[in-house]
A and B are shown apart, each in its own frame.
With several copies, the nearest count.
Chain A
Amino acid sequence: MGELKLMKGNEALAEAMILAGADAYFGYPITPQSEVLEYLAEQKVFERTGMVVLQAESEVAAINMIYGAAGAGKRVVTTSSSPGYSLMQEGMSYITAAELPCVICNVVRGGPGLGTIQPSQADYFQATRGGGHGDYYTIVLAPSSVQEIVDFVKLGFELAEKYRNPVLILSDGAIGQMKEKVEFFEQMPRRTVFPDWATTGKIPGKPARVITTLNIESEKMEVLNLHLQEKYNTIREKESLYETYNMEDAEYVFTGFGLVGRICVKAMEMAREKGYKVGVIRPITLFPFPTKIYAEYAPKVKGILDVEMNAGQMVEDVRLSVNGATPVEFYGRMGGMIPAPDAILEHFEKYFITGGK
């Protein structure tokens, strides 16, 4: 096992890209994720692995550089934060329609608007419902620790290339800025053979490759859509990930993703100390959402408290999953505020014990 490092989430993210054999990074500075580009620049990655790094003129340009390099069959990645990621929505729609594998990380900050640079989870809808136009989904991974950020870069490229679909790592300002112990995987080689759909230059005797998202005839466009939907269904079946804690005897469930998932565990520990049988479900993939695990436990528990750093977004997926089988309550903080474990416990008691509200 590799040596342990103490590293910022954003720096670990950048290091993991290099180790994953990424061919290129295109990005634009924005707090709280500028350390990614800064780390890559400082590392002289071109000398390390031949990876190219470019500070684009904007997020719109960056995501389209990703489209170009991914279309050419290379392993590419970009990062941004909320306002910047909003500017990438047209590009995301194109990348998904063209089925180009790539990894994007949104280090979410508090919106809407310019808002604050403090951590938030208010981009959940945008991440899981496709903020861009058309019927598409990006695979969404929600890390809760610096270690998971590293692991999800590797997993992200694997899923992206397996399904020819972009993978979004939904981080936040806190995970991006905090330092934790982290262990890295071995340096992976950069790709030398490219997928046959990639535009690497026409191969004599074979038809020229075309990367396009245009289908003037609706009939053809519907065929593309049916294909995409089939792919999404496969992903729903095969790739959903989650973690549970103390669910065996749980009468109540705390649930939250990313950093909040961890805070829920702490709140659960506090609740158990007070004698409440609480368990935790932490979704790891937000698309596909781990619907089954909620559906499975819903009939067995007295209620679910969903906690988020937003006004209530994932809670819709939780409700869709339990489909009325158990009450689902919500507690959230907004605009960069982080729910503390004791506040979670307090709201739990309010909703489910003293039955207030």
Chain B
Amino acid sequence: MEDKLNICTPENLVYKKPGTLKIKQSHYCPGCGHGTVHKILMEVVEEMGIQGDIIGVCPVGCSVFAYDYLDVDMNEAAHGRALAVATGIRRVFPEKYVFTYQGDGDLAAIGTAETIHAANRGENIMTIFINNGIYGMTGGQMAPTTLLGMESTTSPYGRDVKTMGYPMEMANLLKDLKGVCYITRQSVHKPGNVRKLKKAIAKALEYQKQGLGFSLVEVVSNCPSNWKMTPLQANQFVEDKMIPYYPLGDIKTPEGK
């Protein structure tokens, strides 16, 4: 017992919640990736010391409440319009860091035009794209990213390509746009991946600092509640089904892929 107690001292601290997160329990379901991504994003903000220089935009989706957790200036956005809202901010505050945090329904369905044009204009913005293959907030409807055969409340017999089309690979769709400087796809289903995600976010903000343009950090995430799985099953599904279709890694870098 003794030595256990006395190692809990500041000099031995190796991991703690970043100070850039507000003290409030999240509303997210147990095991939901949103919480992990929030934490990693705020770790980077803390380490870069840019808490006062960054402005975030969260559209409606489960993460619409991000402003309750991320301790930085935040703007909620209408469904799909995050990148228009962020463009408005970016254009009037060229010297700040600006990011959006969007779900797949938001970024890839209703927000398609805003996404593509912000990227094509090379808006100097970082977009964190939470791909959980579902509309979480509204109770599990099909998203553009829902896998073929995957069940959702609006594809109860599995996504049927004949009538519902193919799962959209946004990263791939955007990669040839010249305004885009960085596209990477990461995940949070294993510690190693979480650490890689952190590096990716840091890189994206670094590129933004250099004014290189639009960057997309896609996170292949989960939705235990609407996938009707336990968090562990959900992360297994990420590993077995999502990642094979949405392979991880850098898709475009300023250095050239």
Contact = CB atoms under 8 A, between A and B. Distances in A.
Interface of A: 23-24, 26, 28-31, 34, 37-38, 41-42, 44, 52, 54-62, 64-72, 74, 76, 83, 90-91, 94, 98, 114, 199-204, 208-214
B126 to A, nearest CB: 15
A213 B92 CA distance: 22
B139 A31 contact: yes
A72 B92 contact: yes
A52 B91 contact: yes
Nearest to B77: A64
B53 interface: yes
Contact of B154 (A41, A200, A212): A41
B239 interface: no
Nearest to B157: A44
Interface residues of B, number: 54
Contact of A56 (B52, B53, B57, B84): B84
B87 A54 contact: yes
A222 B66 CA distance: 22
B110 A28 contact: yes
Given A54-B87, A201-B53, A211 B114 contact: no
Interface of B: 22, 51-55, 57, 60, 64-65, 67, 70-81, 84-89, 91-93, 96, 105, 109-110, 112-114, 117, 135, 137-139, 141-142, 144, 153-157, 163-164
A65 B85 contact: yes
Given A57-B112, A58-B80, A64-B78, A199 B86 contact: no
B204 to A, nearest CB: 18
Given A30-B138, A213-B76, 18 more contacts: A24-B88, A28-B110, A29-B141, A34-B154, A41-B153, A44-B157, A54-B91, A58-B80, A58-B109, A58-B110, A65-B85, A67-B81, A67-B85, A68-B84, A76-B88, A91-B81, A114-B78, A202-B71
Nearest to A210: B67
B43 to A, nearest CB: 16
Contacts of A29: 105, 135, 138-139, 141, 154
